[in-house]
Amino acid sequence: MKKIWIGCITGFVICSMLIFLCSAEQERYSWYCKHVKEHLQPCADSDLAFVEEFGGYYIDHRHTDPNADDKVIYLTFDAGYENGNVAKILDILKAEDVPGAFFILSNLLKQEPALVIRMAEEGHTVCNHTASHRDMSRADDAVLMVELQKLEALYKEVTGRELSKYYRPPEGRFSRKNLVFTEKNGYKTVFWSFAYPDWDNGKQMSEERAKSIILENVHNGEVMLLHPTSATNAAILQDVIRTLKSEGYRFGTLDELTGA
Protein backbone atom coordinates (compact mmCIF):
# COMPACT_ATOMS: atom_id res chain seq x y z
CA MET A 1 0.00 0.00 0.00
CA LYS A 2 2.87 2.32 0.90
CA LYS A 3 4.52 1.73 -2.50
CA ILE A 4 1.25 2.48 -4.27
CA TRP A 5 0.87 5.70 -2.28
CA ILE A 6 4.43 6.78 -3.06
CA GLY A 7 3.88 5.95 -6.72
CA CYS A 8 0.73 8.06 -6.80
CA ILE A 9 2.51 11.02 -5.22
CA THR A 10 5.43 10.69 -7.64
CA GLY A 11 3.06 10.54 -10.60
CA PHE A 12 1.18 13.59 -9.35
CA VAL A 13 4.41 15.57 -8.97
CA ILE A 14 5.60 14.64 -12.47
CA CYS A 15 2.25 15.53 -14.02
CA SER A 16 2.21 18.83 -12.15
CA MET A 17 5.69 19.66 -13.42
CA LEU A 18 4.74 18.84 -17.01
CA ILE A 19 1.61 20.97 -16.79
CA PHE A 20 3.66 23.84 -15.37
CA LEU A 21 6.30 23.57 -18.10
CA CYS A 22 3.70 23.41 -20.86
CA SER A 23 1.79 26.36 -19.48
CA ALA A 24 5.01 28.38 -19.16
CA GLU A 25 5.93 27.53 -22.74
CA GLN A 26 2.47 28.62 -23.91
CA GLU A 27 2.30 31.73 -21.74
CA ARG A 28 1.05 34.59 -23.87
CA TYR A 29 2.39 38.13 -23.94
CA SER A 30 1.33 41.48 -25.37
CA TRP A 31 4.24 43.73 -26.26
CA TYR A 32 4.39 47.26 -24.95
CA CYS A 33 7.07 49.77 -24.09
CA LYS A 34 6.37 52.60 -21.65
CA HIS A 35 7.16 56.13 -22.74
CA VAL A 36 9.85 57.95 -20.74
CA LYS A 37 10.80 61.61 -20.47
CA GLU A 38 13.88 63.63 -21.39
CA HIS A 39 14.29 61.72 -24.67
CA LEU A 40 15.85 58.79 -22.85
CA GLN A 41 15.60 55.24 -24.13
CA PRO A 42 12.77 53.23 -22.59
CA CYS A 43 13.43 49.71 -21.37
CA ALA A 44 11.13 46.75 -21.84
CA ASP A 45 9.54 45.55 -18.61
CA SER A 46 11.41 42.69 -16.99
CA ASP A 47 8.76 40.15 -18.00
CA LEU A 48 9.26 41.07 -21.67
CA ALA A 49 13.03 41.58 -21.79
CA PHE A 50 13.57 37.93 -22.75
CA VAL A 51 12.54 38.63 -26.37
CA GLU A 52 16.09 39.70 -27.19
CA GLU A 53 17.31 36.21 -26.31
CA PHE A 54 15.37 34.81 -29.25
CA GLY A 55 16.09 37.09 -32.19
CA GLY A 56 13.75 39.84 -31.04
CA TYR A 57 14.44 43.57 -31.42
CA TYR A 58 12.69 46.64 -30.11
CA ILE A 59 15.41 49.28 -29.81
CA ASP A 60 19.00 49.99 -30.88
CA HIS A 61 21.14 49.58 -27.77
CA ARG A 62 24.20 50.87 -29.64
CA HIS A 63 22.65 54.34 -29.89
CA THR A 64 21.56 55.44 -26.43
CA ASP A 65 22.90 58.94 -25.80
CA PRO A 66 20.21 61.60 -26.50
CA ASN A 67 23.00 64.13 -27.11
CA ALA A 68 25.18 61.99 -29.36
CA ASP A 69 26.40 63.23 -32.72
CA ASP A 70 24.91 60.14 -34.36
CA LYS A 71 21.22 59.77 -33.53
CA VAL A 72 19.11 57.21 -35.39
CA ILE A 73 15.43 56.35 -35.70
CA TYR A 74 13.94 53.31 -37.41
CA LEU A 75 10.58 54.07 -39.02
CA THR A 76 8.27 51.06 -39.18
CA PHE A 77 4.70 50.81 -40.39
CA ASP A 78 2.01 48.15 -39.92
CA ALA A 79 0.07 48.24 -43.18
CA GLY A 80 -2.98 46.03 -43.53
CA TYR A 81 -4.94 47.92 -46.16
CA GLU A 82 -4.95 51.07 -48.27
CA ASN A 83 -7.40 53.90 -47.68
CA GLY A 84 -5.56 56.65 -49.54
CA ASN A 85 -3.14 57.37 -46.72
CA VAL A 86 -0.55 54.66 -47.35
CA ALA A 87 0.23 56.17 -50.75
CA LYS A 88 0.55 59.59 -49.12
CA ILE A 89 3.01 58.15 -46.60
CA LEU A 90 5.09 56.73 -49.45
CA ASP A 91 5.03 60.10 -51.20
CA ILE A 92 6.42 61.74 -48.06
CA LEU A 93 9.16 59.15 -47.56
CA LYS A 94 10.21 59.56 -51.18
CA ALA A 95 10.24 63.35 -50.95
CA GLU A 96 12.31 63.26 -47.76
CA ASP A 97 14.56 60.39 -48.93
CA VAL A 98 13.78 58.38 -45.80
CA PRO A 99 13.63 54.56 -45.63
CA GLY A 100 10.83 52.72 -43.90
CA ALA A 101 9.92 49.15 -43.04
CA PHE A 102 6.39 48.05 -43.92
CA PHE A 103 4.89 45.03 -42.18
CA ILE A 104 2.15 43.95 -44.55
CA LEU A 105 -0.77 41.50 -44.74
CA SER A 106 -2.05 39.47 -47.68
CA ASN A 107 -5.06 41.79 -47.96
CA LEU A 108 -2.82 44.68 -49.03
CA LEU A 109 -1.03 42.49 -51.57
CA LYS A 110 -4.29 41.32 -53.08
CA GLN A 111 -6.05 44.67 -53.12
CA GLU A 112 -3.14 47.01 -53.89
CA PRO A 113 -0.28 45.03 -55.48
CA ALA A 114 1.13 48.11 -57.22
CA LEU A 115 1.47 49.84 -53.86
CA VAL A 116 3.50 46.97 -52.40
CA ILE A 117 5.67 46.82 -55.51
CA ARG A 118 6.26 50.54 -55.10
CA MET A 119 7.42 50.00 -51.51
CA ALA A 120 10.08 47.58 -52.67
CA GLU A 121 11.13 49.59 -55.71
CA GLU A 122 11.58 52.75 -53.65
CA GLY A 123 13.98 51.01 -51.30
CA HIS A 124 11.77 50.23 -48.32
CA THR A 125 11.94 46.94 -46.45
CA VAL A 126 8.79 44.89 -46.92
CA CYS A 127 8.20 42.64 -43.95
CA ASN A 128 5.94 39.87 -42.67
CA HIS A 129 2.92 40.71 -40.51
CA THR A 130 1.37 37.28 -41.28
CA ALA A 131 -1.19 36.56 -43.98
CA SER A 132 -4.37 37.11 -42.00
CA HIS A 133 -3.49 39.05 -38.80
CA ARG A 134 -4.49 36.26 -36.42
CA ASP A 135 -3.45 36.17 -32.78
CA MET A 136 -0.20 34.20 -33.07
CA SER A 137 0.22 33.87 -29.32
CA ARG A 138 -2.43 31.13 -29.50
CA ALA A 139 -0.96 29.46 -32.58
CA ASP A 140 1.20 26.36 -32.69
CA ASP A 141 4.31 26.14 -34.85
CA ALA A 142 2.50 24.71 -37.86
CA VAL A 143 -0.12 27.46 -37.93
CA LEU A 144 2.49 30.18 -37.51
CA MET A 145 4.57 28.77 -40.35
CA VAL A 146 1.53 28.62 -42.65
CA GLU A 147 0.78 32.28 -41.89
CA LEU A 148 4.35 33.34 -42.63
CA GLN A 149 4.86 31.22 -45.74
CA LYS A 150 1.46 32.04 -47.22
CA LEU A 151 2.35 35.73 -47.23
CA GLU A 152 5.83 35.01 -48.57
CA ALA A 153 4.44 32.97 -51.47
CA LEU A 154 1.91 35.66 -52.38
CA TYR A 155 4.57 38.37 -52.20
CA LYS A 156 6.84 36.37 -54.52
CA GLU A 157 3.95 35.78 -56.93
CA VAL A 158 2.98 39.47 -57.01
CA THR A 159 6.39 41.14 -56.95
CA GLY A 160 8.86 38.51 -58.14
CA ARG A 161 10.91 39.27 -55.02
CA GLU A 162 11.66 37.46 -51.78
CA LEU A 163 9.93 38.85 -48.71
CA SER A 164 12.34 39.91 -45.97
CA LYS A 165 12.74 37.67 -42.92
CA TYR A 166 11.56 40.39 -40.54
CA TYR A 167 8.38 39.50 -38.70
CA ARG A 168 6.06 41.47 -36.42
CA PRO A 169 3.36 39.61 -34.48
CA PRO A 170 -0.14 40.97 -35.10
CA GLU A 171 -1.11 43.38 -32.30
CA GLY A 172 2.21 42.53 -30.64
CA ARG A 173 0.78 39.29 -29.24
CA PHE A 174 3.23 36.42 -28.94
CA SER A 175 4.47 33.51 -26.86
CA ARG A 176 7.95 32.40 -25.96
CA LYS A 177 7.37 29.37 -28.18
CA ASN A 178 6.64 31.71 -31.13
CA LEU A 179 9.99 33.43 -30.67
CA VAL A 180 11.92 30.19 -30.38
CA PHE A 181 10.27 28.86 -33.54
CA THR A 182 10.69 31.97 -35.68
CA GLU A 183 14.35 32.40 -34.70
CA LYS A 184 15.03 28.74 -35.49
CA ASN A 185 13.55 29.30 -38.95
CA GLY A 186 15.61 32.38 -39.73
CA TYR A 187 13.22 35.18 -38.78
CA LYS A 188 13.95 38.26 -36.73
CA THR A 189 11.00 39.51 -34.70
CA VAL A 190 10.74 43.29 -34.62
CA PHE A 191 8.71 45.00 -31.92
CA TRP A 192 8.95 48.75 -31.12
CA SER A 193 10.08 51.25 -28.50
CA PHE A 194 7.45 53.85 -29.40
CA ALA A 195 3.84 53.63 -30.53
CA TYR A 196 0.76 55.73 -29.90
CA PRO A 197 -3.00 55.26 -30.48
CA ASP A 198 -3.13 55.92 -34.22
CA TRP A 199 -4.71 52.75 -35.61
CA ASP A 200 -8.43 53.58 -35.37
CA ASN A 201 -9.45 55.97 -38.14
CA GLY A 202 -12.67 56.63 -36.29
CA LYS A 203 -10.77 57.92 -33.26
CA GLN A 204 -7.95 60.04 -34.66
CA MET A 205 -6.50 62.64 -32.30
CA SER A 206 -5.74 66.15 -33.48
CA GLU A 207 -2.68 66.69 -35.63
CA GLU A 208 -1.17 68.99 -33.00
CA ARG A 209 -1.60 66.43 -30.21
CA ALA A 210 -0.26 63.54 -32.29
CA LYS A 211 2.81 65.46 -33.39
CA SER A 212 3.44 66.54 -29.81
CA ILE A 213 3.31 62.94 -28.52
CA ILE A 214 5.68 61.69 -31.21
CA LEU A 215 8.24 64.46 -30.73
CA GLU A 216 8.08 64.50 -26.93
CA ASN A 217 8.89 60.79 -26.81
CA VAL A 218 11.55 60.57 -29.49
CA HIS A 219 14.78 58.89 -28.40
CA ASN A 220 18.04 57.78 -29.94
CA GLY A 221 17.84 54.21 -31.27
CA GLU A 222 14.05 54.36 -31.44
CA VAL A 223 11.99 51.83 -33.35
CA MET A 224 8.91 53.89 -34.16
CA LEU A 225 5.66 52.14 -34.99
CA LEU A 226 3.09 54.06 -37.03
CA HIS A 227 0.01 52.94 -38.92
CA PRO A 228 0.11 54.39 -42.44
CA THR A 229 -3.67 54.14 -42.73
CA SER A 230 -3.94 56.98 -40.20
CA ALA A 231 -5.11 60.24 -41.76
CA THR A 232 -3.37 62.11 -38.96
CA ASN A 233 -0.05 60.40 -39.65
CA ALA A 234 -0.35 61.20 -43.34
CA ALA A 235 -0.94 64.85 -42.45
CA ILE A 236 1.93 65.25 -39.96
CA LEU A 237 4.65 62.83 -41.05
CA GLN A 238 6.53 65.25 -43.27
CA ASP A 239 6.66 67.88 -40.51
CA VAL A 240 7.76 65.21 -38.02
CA ILE A 241 10.55 63.98 -40.29
CA ARG A 242 11.80 67.49 -41.00
CA THR A 243 11.75 68.38 -37.31
CA LEU A 244 13.68 65.24 -36.40
CA LYS A 245 16.24 65.91 -39.13
CA SER A 246 16.69 69.45 -37.78
CA GLU A 247 17.35 67.92 -34.34
CA GLY A 248 20.14 65.76 -35.75
CA TYR A 249 18.35 62.46 -36.27
CA ARG A 250 18.88 60.23 -39.27
CA PHE A 251 16.72 57.28 -40.36
CA GLY A 252 18.11 53.76 -40.43
CA THR A 253 17.04 50.43 -41.87
CA LEU A 254 16.20 47.18 -40.12
CA ASP A 255 19.38 45.68 -41.56
CA GLU A 256 21.31 48.28 -39.59
CA LEU A 257 19.22 47.68 -36.46
CA THR A 258 19.83 43.93 -36.52
CA GLY A 259 23.35 43.97 -37.93
CA ALA A 260 22.23 41.93 -40.96
pLDDT tens profile 57-113: 999 999 999 999 999 999 999 999 999 999 999 999 999 999 999 999 999 999 999
Average pLDDT score over residue span 211-234:
98
Average pLDDT score over residue span 199-218:
96
Average pLDDT score over residue span 117-134:
98
Contact 87, 124 (CB under 8 A): no
- Whether 188 maps to a domain, the answer reads yes
- Whether 250 maps to a domain, the answer reads yes
- Whether 1 maps to a domain, the answer reads no
User: For 9-43, what is each residue's pLDDT tens digit?
Assistant: 444 333 333 333 344 446 999 999 999 999 999 99
- Whether 201 maps to a domain, the answer reads yes
- Whether 60 maps to a domain, the answer reads no
Active-site residue, from 63, 124, 129, 227: 227
**227 catalytic, yes or no?**
yes
Q: What percent of the chain has pLDDT over 90?
A: 89
- Whether 239 maps to a domain, the answer reads yes
Average pLDDT score over residue span 200-204:
93
Active-site residue, from 60, 78, 124, 129: 78
Q: What is the pTM of this model?
A: 0.90
Residue 239 has pLDDT above 70, yes or no: yes
HSE (CB half, 13 Å, CA atoms) of 238?
Answer: 12
Output the pLDDT for position 260: 87
Contact 39, 218 (CB under 8 A): yes
Output the pLDDT for position 24: 43
**78 catalytic, yes or no?**
yes
- Whether 103 maps to a domain, the answer reads yes
Residues 6+ apart with CB under 8 A from 4: none
Domain tally for the chain?
1
Residue 231 has pLDDT above 50, yes or no: yes
Output the pLDDT for position 26: 62
Average pLDDT score over residue span 221-239:
98
- Whether 23 maps to a domain, the answer reads no
Mean pLDDT over each residue of the chain, to the nearest integer: 92
Output the pLDDT for position 22: 40
Q: What percent of the chain has pLDDT over 70?
A: 90
Average pLDDT score over residue span 184-210:
97
CATH of the domain at 134: 3.20.20.370
168: containing domain: 65-258
- Residue 56's nearest CA partner among 223, 238, 234 is 223
